[in-house]
Amino acid sequence: MEENKNAKEDTTYDLFEFKLLVDTADSYQSSQDFYSAIEHYSAAIELDSKNAELYHKRGWSKAHIGDIKGELEDWSLAIECNPNIAQYYADRAVAKVTLMDYTGAIEDAEQAIKLDPEQKTLIEPIISNIYKKIEIPEMVDEKTGNIPDNEVREEIKNWGSDRRDFLKQITTVGMATMTGALLTGCTSRTLEGGKKNVKWGMIIDLKKCVGCKACTVACKVENHTPPGVAYNVVIEEETGVFPHNKKTFTPRPCMQCEFPSCTTVCPVSATYQREDGITVVDYDVCIGCKYCIAACPYGARSFDFGHNYGEEGVYPWEGQPSPEYGQHRERKNHASPEGNVRKCTFCMHRIYNGTGPACATTCMGHAIYFGNLADPDAECMVHGVNLQNLLATRSYMRLKEETGNAPRVYYLT
């Protein structure tokens, strides 16, 4: 354990007990029992509340259970206790990227480099990730992802402060716009975005799907969906008579239709299609009328009735915020998304961090391909296979073509 030089010397606690707590927590963390690790780190922190490394380690455990806000808090506390450790700033920068606070992430990244230039190799992926999001390709080497030089870094800083001024300006404009919106009934689409010229889609190979339903479980774990809500299910169909019978398994995520039925019927424009083709639900606007559920031809939407897995209250895992839409909402006190309609988002929060949807990355049979269907050269984010080539060389079908919804999920038959 790194000695905390700035810590006030406090010998009022039992050192043996303290070391025992920390060692126990460390071993829980190594064996990936992160909840127990957090419990023990917290107990140790009660004995020594100025120990930066304890906050840092607890932050790591929280990161592993998806508690991004808790992780961020802990790293801020670690920095408060010892502002001279570059690693703390680097880790906080990663958390801020996940929470889409890019300006804050860049500031922390720069601070980390200032304290320890060796941190450069750790910071590179963070910075290049941010650049991809803000689309400044000339500032980064696409192949190596090298950190830009000092001149460029200055420019980013200016961009950051320009952005802050810009944000102040648009707040004023925004107030005027909202007044107009009230009069005209238009809404600001807070989940709008995505890359231009990208249409995310999925190709599922029915010959490879073995019906294990790992995709259903992975989706549930990733999105922290409660009981009674399922974004991705596997439909089983048995045909024929023994010994000439067979079973077909059809995973059914949201079809992310090109012409969705759900968006046209929503009375409050809470659900709409982004530029990248993903249909989203704004939980703060949705009134929970369930018209979209009635309108969806694929049964792909679920209403959050408020169930929990715990018999009395909420289990620790399900109390953690869901990373959906990068919003990290906690389901408590009947706040959204409880009482809202929920759906698969192709793990939007993952794909813009460079990882494929949970179902695709989990699938044992490598049956799920995912990527940009608008680009003829695009490869699957998970398996690296050219997507258009798959559709060109294999026969495929889409569910309920007769509806005219043009789903973006293709099934290879």
Partner 1 sequence: MYQEKVHYSSYKPSKILLIILIAMTVVGVIATYQTLTKGHIILNSTQHIPWGIWVAAYLFAISFSIGAYLVSSLSYVFKIEVFKPIRHLSLVISLLGVVLAGFFIILDLGHPLRMMNIFLSFNPESPMAWMGILYGLFAVGLVLQIAVSMDFPFLKYFGERFNYIDRKENREKFLKTLGVIGVIVTLLVLIGEGGIFAVAKARPAWFGGLFPILLIISGIASGAGIITYFSGYIIKLTPELKTRLLKKVLKVSVTAMVVTYIMLFIEMSTKFYSGVAVEIYPWSQMLFGEYWYTFWIFQMLVGLIFPLYAVLKPSLKNPIRVYKWAGFAVALGLFCLRLNIVMPSQANETILGISEANTHWRFSLGYAPSLMEYFLILGGIALFLWLLLLAVKFLPLNNVTTTSNKN
What is the C-alpha separation between 360 and 368, in angstroms, rounded? Answer: 5
Q: Which of 98, 223, 256, 302 binds partner 1 (CB under 8 A)?
A: 302
What is the C-alpha separation between 349 and 352, in angstroms, rounded? Answer: 6
Q: Which of 60, 159, 291, 396 binds partner 1 (CB under 8 A)?
A: 291
| Nearest approach, Cβ of residue 240 and partner 1 (Å) | 15
Count CB neighbours of 126 within 10 A: 22
| Nearest approach, Cβ of residue 219 and partner 1 (Å) | 11
The DSSP secondary structure of 212-224, one letter per residue, reads --HHHHHHHHHHT
Q: Which of 14, 192, 236, 401 binds partner 1 (CB under 8 A)?
A: 236
Q: Are the C-beta atoms of residues 58 and 72 closer than 8 Å to each other?
A: no
| Nearest approach, Cβ of residue 338 and partner 1 (Å) | 6
Which of positions 80-99 make contact with partner 1 (CB under 8 A)?
none
- Which range in 13-21, 89-97, 157-165, 296-304 contacts partner 1 by CB under 8 A? 296-304
Which of positions 305-344 make contact with partner 1 (CB under 8 A)?
305-307, 334, 336, 338-341
Task: Give ∠ CA 229-96-357 in degrees, rounded to 5.
Answer: 35
Q: Are the C-beta atoms of residues 321 and 328 closer than 8 Å to each other?
A: yes
Residue 115, both tokens = 């304290």
Q: Which of 234, 254, 351, 368 binds partner 1 (CB under 8 A)?
A: 234
Q: Which of 1, 167, 170, 268 binds partner 1 (CB under 8 A)?
A: 268
- Applying CB under 8 A, does 146 fall inside the site for partner 1? no
Q: Are the C-beta atoms of residues 18 and 10 closer than 8 Å to each other?
A: no
Q: Which of 100, 206, 214, 399 binds partner 1 (CB under 8 A)?
A: 399
Which backbone phi and psi does 394 adopt, to 5 degrees?
Answer: -120, 150
The DSSP secondary structure of 2-17, one letter per residue, reads ---TTSPP--SS-HHH
Comparison of 22 and 229: residue with beta carbon closer to partner 1: 229
- Which range in 4-12, 32-40, 226-234, 359-367 contacts partner 1 by CB under 8 A? 226-234
Q: Count interface residues toward partner 1 (CB under 8 A).
A: 55
- Applying CB under 8 A, does 1 fall inside the site for partner 1? no
Closest among 327, 332, 320, 325 to 70, alpha carbons compared? 320
Comparison of 37 and 358: residue with beta carbon closer to partner 1: 358
Q: Which of 31, 84, 161, 264 binds partner 1 (CB under 8 A)?
A: 264
| Nearest approach, Cβ of residue 267 and partner 1 (Å) | 4
DSSP assignment, residue 147? Answer: P
Count CB neighbours of 301 within 10 A: 22
Q: Where are the alpha helices (DSSP H) in 3-81?
A: 15-30, 34-47, 52-64, 68-81
Binding mask 166-195 for partner 1 (x = CB under 8 A): ---------------xx--xxx--------
Comparison of 356 and 407: residue with beta carbon closer to partner 1: 407
Question: From start to end of 229-382, where are the E strands?
Answer: 233-239, 246-252, 271-273, 279-281, 301-303, 341-343, 368-372
Residue 329, both tokens = 């909402």
- Applying CB under 8 A, does 207 fall inside the site for partner 1? no
| Nearest approach, Cβ of residue 196 and partner 1 (Å) | 24
Give, for 204, the enclosing helix (H) or strand (E). strand 200-205
Residues that bind partner 1 (CB under 8 A): 181-182, 185-187, 216, 227-230, 233-237, 250, 252, 261, 264-270, 285-291, 293-299, 301-307, 334, 336, 338-341, 399-400, 403
